[in-house]
Amino acid sequence: MNNILRLAVQKSGRLSEGSMELIKSCGINVSNGIGKLKAKASNFPIEFFFLRDDDIPGYVADGVADIGIVGENVVVEKDKSVAIVHRLGFSRCRLSIALAKSANYNGPQDLNGKGIATSYPKLLEKFLAENGVNAEVHEISGSVEIAPSIGLAEAVCDIVSSGSTLFTNGLKEVETIFQSEAVLIANENISVEKKDIIEKLLFRIKSLQQAKNNKYILLNAPESNVEEIKSILPGMRSPTVVPLANKGWVSIHSVINENDFWEKIESLKAAGAEGILVVPIEKMIL
Protein backbone atom coordinates (compact mmCIF):
# COMPACT_ATOMS: atom_id res chain seq x y z
CA MET A 1 0.00 0.00 0.00
CA ASN A 2 2.93 2.33 0.69
CA ASN A 3 3.84 2.27 -3.00
CA ILE A 4 0.29 2.98 -4.20
CA LEU A 5 -0.50 6.63 -4.92
CA ARG A 6 -3.92 7.63 -3.57
CA LEU A 7 -5.73 10.15 -5.79
CA ALA A 8 -8.93 11.93 -4.74
CA VAL A 9 -11.27 13.04 -7.53
CA GLN A 10 -14.79 14.43 -7.59
CA LYS A 11 -17.32 11.60 -7.56
CA SER A 12 -19.68 13.16 -10.10
CA GLY A 13 -20.09 16.22 -12.30
CA ARG A 14 -18.08 17.98 -14.98
CA LEU A 15 -14.84 18.05 -12.98
CA SER A 16 -15.14 14.30 -12.39
CA GLU A 17 -15.63 13.65 -16.10
CA GLY A 18 -12.64 15.81 -17.02
CA SER A 19 -10.45 14.16 -14.38
CA MET A 20 -11.22 10.62 -15.48
CA GLU A 21 -10.87 11.53 -19.15
CA LEU A 22 -7.40 12.90 -18.37
CA ILE A 23 -6.45 9.76 -16.44
CA LYS A 24 -7.60 7.46 -19.25
CA SER A 25 -5.80 9.60 -21.85
CA CYS A 26 -2.65 9.02 -19.80
CA GLY A 27 -3.03 5.30 -20.55
CA ILE A 28 -4.18 4.44 -17.02
CA ASN A 29 -6.93 1.82 -16.92
CA VAL A 30 -9.48 2.14 -14.14
CA SER A 31 -13.05 0.94 -13.80
CA ASN A 32 -14.92 2.51 -10.90
CA GLY A 33 -18.36 1.15 -11.79
CA ILE A 34 -21.50 2.87 -10.55
CA GLY A 35 -21.61 4.25 -7.02
CA LYS A 36 -18.19 2.90 -5.98
CA LEU A 37 -16.12 5.22 -3.80
CA LYS A 38 -12.77 3.49 -4.37
CA ALA A 39 -11.05 1.89 -7.35
CA LYS A 40 -7.56 0.76 -8.38
CA ALA A 41 -5.83 1.11 -11.71
CA SER A 42 -4.83 -2.15 -13.36
CA ASN A 43 -1.65 -0.85 -15.01
CA PHE A 44 -0.34 1.99 -12.81
CA PRO A 45 0.34 2.18 -9.04
CA ILE A 46 -2.61 4.43 -8.24
CA GLU A 47 -5.83 4.14 -6.25
CA PHE A 48 -8.81 6.46 -6.65
CA PHE A 49 -11.09 7.93 -3.99
CA PHE A 50 -14.33 9.42 -5.32
CA LEU A 51 -15.36 12.29 -3.05
CA ARG A 52 -17.26 15.57 -2.87
CA ASP A 53 -15.05 18.28 -4.35
CA ASP A 54 -15.31 20.39 -1.18
CA ASP A 55 -13.81 17.52 0.82
CA ILE A 56 -10.81 16.85 -1.42
CA PRO A 57 -8.41 19.54 -0.04
CA GLY A 58 -9.06 18.32 3.51
CA TYR A 59 -8.49 14.66 2.63
CA VAL A 60 -5.20 15.55 0.92
CA ALA A 61 -4.05 17.85 3.75
CA ASP A 62 -4.78 15.10 6.32
CA GLY A 63 -2.88 12.49 4.28
CA VAL A 64 -5.91 10.27 3.65
CA ALA A 65 -5.24 10.93 -0.05
CA ASP A 66 -1.78 11.76 -1.40
CA ILE A 67 -2.95 13.92 -4.29
CA GLY A 68 -6.21 15.31 -5.60
CA ILE A 69 -7.77 16.90 -8.67
CA VAL A 70 -10.01 19.82 -7.74
CA GLY A 71 -10.94 23.33 -8.81
CA GLU A 72 -8.46 26.00 -7.73
CA ASN A 73 -11.37 28.00 -6.33
CA VAL A 74 -12.07 25.17 -3.86
CA VAL A 75 -8.38 24.94 -2.89
CA VAL A 76 -8.18 28.65 -2.09
CA GLU A 77 -11.56 28.75 -0.34
CA LYS A 78 -10.85 25.75 1.91
CA ASP A 79 -7.34 27.08 2.69
CA LYS A 80 -5.86 23.72 3.67
CA SER A 81 -2.15 22.92 3.86
CA VAL A 82 -1.73 21.46 0.38
CA ALA A 83 0.60 22.23 -2.51
CA ILE A 84 -0.62 23.01 -6.01
CA VAL A 85 1.58 20.75 -8.14
CA HIS A 86 0.29 21.41 -11.64
CA ARG A 87 -2.45 23.31 -13.50
CA LEU A 88 -4.47 20.94 -15.64
CA GLY A 89 -6.15 23.35 -18.06
CA PHE A 90 -9.71 22.00 -17.96
CA SER A 91 -12.89 22.91 -16.05
CA ARG A 92 -12.06 26.58 -16.44
CA CYS A 93 -14.55 28.89 -14.77
CA ARG A 94 -14.71 32.12 -12.80
CA LEU A 95 -16.10 33.27 -9.48
CA SER A 96 -18.25 36.31 -10.17
CA ILE A 97 -20.62 38.70 -8.47
CA ALA A 98 -24.03 39.07 -10.09
CA LEU A 99 -26.92 41.47 -9.58
CA ALA A 100 -30.45 41.71 -10.91
CA LYS A 101 -30.52 42.55 -14.62
CA SER A 102 -32.17 45.90 -13.85
CA ALA A 103 -29.55 46.98 -11.28
CA ASN A 104 -27.00 49.69 -12.04
CA TYR A 105 -23.34 48.83 -11.44
CA ASN A 106 -20.39 51.17 -11.79
CA GLY A 107 -17.84 49.32 -9.63
CA PRO A 108 -17.29 47.51 -6.32
CA GLN A 109 -18.45 50.52 -4.27
CA ASP A 110 -21.99 49.88 -5.52
CA LEU A 111 -21.97 46.75 -3.35
CA ASN A 112 -21.74 48.77 -0.12
CA GLY A 113 -24.59 47.92 2.22
CA LYS A 114 -25.84 45.06 0.09
CA GLY A 115 -26.34 41.44 1.09
CA ILE A 116 -24.37 38.95 -1.02
CA ALA A 117 -25.16 35.23 -1.02
CA THR A 118 -22.28 32.83 -1.74
CA SER A 119 -20.76 29.43 -1.17
CA TYR A 120 -17.28 31.05 -1.20
CA PRO A 121 -17.23 33.45 1.76
CA LYS A 122 -13.43 33.60 2.12
CA LEU A 123 -12.80 34.55 -1.50
CA LEU A 124 -15.65 37.04 -1.42
CA GLU A 125 -14.58 38.64 1.86
CA LYS A 126 -11.02 38.99 0.53
CA PHE A 127 -12.33 40.82 -2.54
CA LEU A 128 -14.56 43.08 -0.43
CA ALA A 129 -11.72 43.92 1.97
CA GLU A 130 -9.31 44.71 -0.89
CA ASN A 131 -11.86 47.12 -2.35
CA GLY A 132 -12.97 48.70 0.94
CA VAL A 133 -16.54 47.44 0.56
CA ASN A 134 -18.81 46.92 3.56
CA ALA A 135 -21.36 44.29 2.58
CA GLU A 136 -23.21 41.53 4.41
CA VAL A 137 -22.08 38.05 3.35
CA HIS A 138 -24.67 35.25 3.52
CA GLU A 139 -23.01 31.82 3.31
CA ILE A 140 -25.25 29.22 1.69
CA SER A 141 -24.59 25.96 -0.15
CA GLY A 142 -26.18 25.23 -3.50
CA SER A 143 -28.76 27.20 -5.51
CA VAL A 144 -27.05 30.49 -4.71
CA GLU A 145 -28.64 32.13 -7.76
CA ILE A 146 -32.15 32.06 -6.24
CA ALA A 147 -31.14 34.21 -3.25
CA PRO A 148 -32.26 37.56 -4.77
CA SER A 149 -35.65 36.20 -5.89
CA ILE A 150 -36.48 34.93 -2.38
CA GLY A 151 -35.31 38.13 -0.69
CA LEU A 152 -32.24 36.68 1.03
CA ALA A 153 -29.71 38.99 -0.66
CA GLU A 154 -29.46 41.62 -3.38
CA ALA A 155 -26.43 39.99 -5.02
CA VAL A 156 -24.78 36.60 -5.43
CA CYS A 157 -21.18 35.48 -5.75
CA ASP A 158 -21.01 32.17 -7.55
CA ILE A 159 -19.08 30.02 -10.03
CA VAL A 160 -19.81 30.92 -13.65
CA SER A 161 -18.98 28.93 -16.79
CA SER A 162 -21.31 30.06 -19.55
CA GLY A 163 -23.47 32.47 -17.54
CA SER A 164 -26.71 30.78 -18.65
CA THR A 165 -27.78 29.89 -15.09
CA LEU A 166 -27.48 33.52 -14.00
CA PHE A 167 -29.38 34.70 -17.06
CA THR A 168 -32.28 32.31 -16.53
CA ASN A 169 -32.57 33.53 -12.94
CA GLY A 170 -32.78 37.18 -13.93
CA LEU A 171 -29.20 38.05 -12.99
CA LYS A 172 -26.26 39.68 -14.76
CA GLU A 173 -22.56 39.17 -14.10
CA VAL A 174 -20.95 42.44 -12.98
CA GLU A 175 -17.58 41.56 -11.40
CA THR A 176 -15.18 38.64 -11.75
CA ILE A 177 -13.20 38.14 -8.56
CA PHE A 178 -11.34 34.86 -9.23
CA GLN A 179 -10.32 32.78 -12.27
CA SER A 180 -10.20 29.03 -11.73
CA GLU A 181 -9.30 25.75 -13.42
CA ALA A 182 -8.68 22.16 -12.36
CA VAL A 183 -5.40 21.72 -10.49
CA LEU A 184 -3.44 18.79 -9.14
CA ILE A 185 -2.77 19.20 -5.42
CA ALA A 186 -0.56 17.14 -3.12
CA ASN A 187 0.05 16.52 0.54
CA GLU A 188 3.00 18.63 1.68
CA ASN A 189 4.68 15.71 3.49
CA ILE A 190 4.44 13.07 0.80
CA SER A 191 7.09 10.33 0.75
CA VAL A 192 9.97 10.21 -1.72
CA GLU A 193 8.62 6.97 -3.20
CA LYS A 194 5.25 8.55 -3.92
CA LYS A 195 6.88 11.70 -5.30
CA ASP A 196 8.50 9.44 -7.91
CA ILE A 197 5.07 8.09 -8.90
CA ILE A 198 3.69 11.65 -9.11
CA GLU A 199 6.55 12.59 -11.46
CA LYS A 200 5.66 9.65 -13.71
CA LEU A 201 2.03 10.77 -13.74
CA LEU A 202 3.02 14.38 -14.44
CA PHE A 203 5.22 13.25 -17.34
CA ARG A 204 2.16 11.70 -18.97
CA ILE A 205 -0.07 14.69 -18.24
CA LYS A 206 2.45 17.20 -19.61
CA SER A 207 2.90 15.10 -22.77
CA LEU A 208 -0.85 15.28 -23.36
CA GLN A 209 -0.93 19.03 -22.71
CA GLN A 210 1.95 19.67 -25.10
CA ALA A 211 0.16 17.65 -27.77
CA LYS A 212 -3.11 19.52 -27.26
CA ASN A 213 -1.40 22.89 -27.64
CA ASN A 214 0.42 21.99 -30.86
CA LYS A 215 -0.34 20.66 -34.35
CA TYR A 216 1.74 18.62 -36.76
CA ILE A 217 1.96 20.37 -40.13
CA LEU A 218 3.01 18.93 -43.51
CA LEU A 219 3.36 20.94 -46.72
CA ASN A 220 4.93 20.93 -50.16
CA ALA A 221 7.08 23.81 -51.35
CA PRO A 222 9.68 24.75 -53.97
CA GLU A 223 13.18 23.81 -52.81
CA SER A 224 14.27 27.40 -53.41
CA ASN A 225 11.83 28.60 -50.72
CA VAL A 226 12.97 26.26 -47.94
CA GLU A 227 14.97 28.82 -45.96
CA GLU A 228 12.07 31.30 -45.96
CA ILE A 229 9.63 28.61 -44.80
CA LYS A 230 12.08 27.38 -42.13
CA SER A 231 12.11 30.89 -40.67
CA ILE A 232 8.32 30.69 -40.32
CA LEU A 233 8.29 27.10 -38.98
CA PRO A 234 11.31 26.60 -36.71
CA GLY A 235 9.91 23.37 -35.21
CA MET A 236 11.18 21.93 -31.94
CA ARG A 237 14.73 22.04 -33.31
CA SER A 238 14.37 22.36 -37.07
CA PRO A 239 11.73 21.32 -39.61
CA THR A 240 12.14 18.01 -41.44
CA VAL A 241 12.78 18.55 -45.16
CA VAL A 242 12.23 15.57 -47.53
CA PRO A 243 12.82 15.67 -51.34
CA LEU A 244 9.77 14.89 -53.48
CA ALA A 245 9.70 12.85 -56.70
CA ASN A 246 9.19 16.07 -58.65
CA LYS A 247 12.60 17.68 -59.00
CA GLY A 248 12.94 21.04 -57.27
CA TRP A 249 10.16 20.33 -54.74
CA VAL A 250 10.31 19.20 -51.10
CA SER A 251 7.94 18.14 -48.33
CA ILE A 252 8.39 20.05 -45.07
CA HIS A 253 7.18 18.62 -41.74
CA SER A 254 7.07 20.60 -38.49
CA VAL A 255 5.10 21.40 -35.34
CA ILE A 256 3.13 24.59 -34.94
CA ASN A 257 1.56 26.07 -31.83
CA GLU A 258 -2.23 26.13 -31.88
CA ASN A 259 -2.27 29.85 -31.03
CA ASP A 260 0.02 30.69 -33.95
CA PHE A 261 -1.72 28.54 -36.55
CA TRP A 262 -3.85 31.01 -38.51
CA GLU A 263 -1.20 33.74 -38.48
CA LYS A 264 1.50 31.33 -39.69
CA ILE A 265 -0.67 29.73 -42.35
CA GLU A 266 -1.02 32.98 -44.29
CA SER A 267 2.74 33.51 -44.18
CA LEU A 268 3.36 29.95 -45.38
CA LYS A 269 1.04 30.36 -48.37
CA ALA A 270 2.76 33.64 -49.25
CA ALA A 271 6.09 31.78 -49.15
CA GLY A 272 4.87 29.26 -51.76
CA ALA A 273 3.62 26.44 -49.54
CA GLU A 274 1.05 24.12 -51.14
CA GLY A 275 -0.98 21.06 -50.06
CA ILE A 276 -0.83 22.08 -46.41
CA LEU A 277 -2.03 19.37 -43.99
CA VAL A 278 -2.58 20.02 -40.30
CA VAL A 279 -2.82 16.94 -38.05
CA PRO A 280 -3.68 16.68 -34.33
CA ILE A 281 -0.94 15.27 -32.09
CA GLU A 282 -1.98 12.60 -29.60
CA LYS A 283 1.08 12.84 -27.33
CA MET A 284 4.21 14.99 -27.49
CA ILE A 285 7.41 14.14 -25.59
CA LEU A 286 9.90 16.99 -25.21
Pair (205, 246) in one structural domain = no
Do 128 and 111 touch, CB atoms closer than 8 A? Answer: yes
Whether the pLDDT of residue 250 is over 80: the answer is: yes
Confidence (pLDDT) at 203: 97
Whether the pLDDT of residue 1 is over 60: the answer is: no
Pair (16, 146) in one structural domain = no
Confidence (pLDDT) at 263: 84
Range of the domain at 66: 5-90+181-211
φ and ψ of 177, to 5 deg: -110, -15
Angle 192-212/14-25 helices, nearest 10 degrees? 90
Q: Which residues pair with 116 in a beta bridge?
A: 137, 155
DSSP letter (8 states) at residue 45: S
Whether the pLDDT of residue 205 is over 90: the answer is: yes
Which of 175-184, 226-235, 246-255 shows the lowest per-residue confidence on average (mean pLDDT)? 226-235
Structural domains counted in the chain: 3
pLDDT, tens only, 4-16: 999 999 998 889 9
CATH of the domain at 262: 3.30.70.120
Three-state secondary structure call for residue 40: strand
Q: Please state, for a pLDDT cut of 90, what percent of the chain lies above it.
A: 79
Mean pLDDT for all residues in the chain: 93
φ and ψ of 190, to 5 deg: -70, 150
Which of 46-55, 81-90, 122-131, 263-272 shows the lowest per-residue confidence on average (mean pLDDT)? 263-272
pLDDT, tens only, 101-135: 999 999 999 999 999 999 999 999 999 999 999 99
CATH of the domain at 173: 3.40.190.10
**Confidence at 33, pLDDT banded by 50, 70, 90:** low
Whether the pLDDT of residue 165 is over 90: the answer is: no
Pair (69, 99) in one structural domain = no
CA separation for the pair 162, 211 (Å, rounded): 26
Pair (128, 245) in one structural domain = no
Does residue 285 lie in a domain region? no
Pair (97, 156) in one structural domain = yes
Confidence (pLDDT) at 259: 82
Pair (17, 84) in one structural domain = yes
Does residue 149 lie in a domain region? yes
Pair (185, 86) in one structural domain = yes
Pair (104, 175) in one structural domain = yes
Does residue 254 lie in a domain region? yes
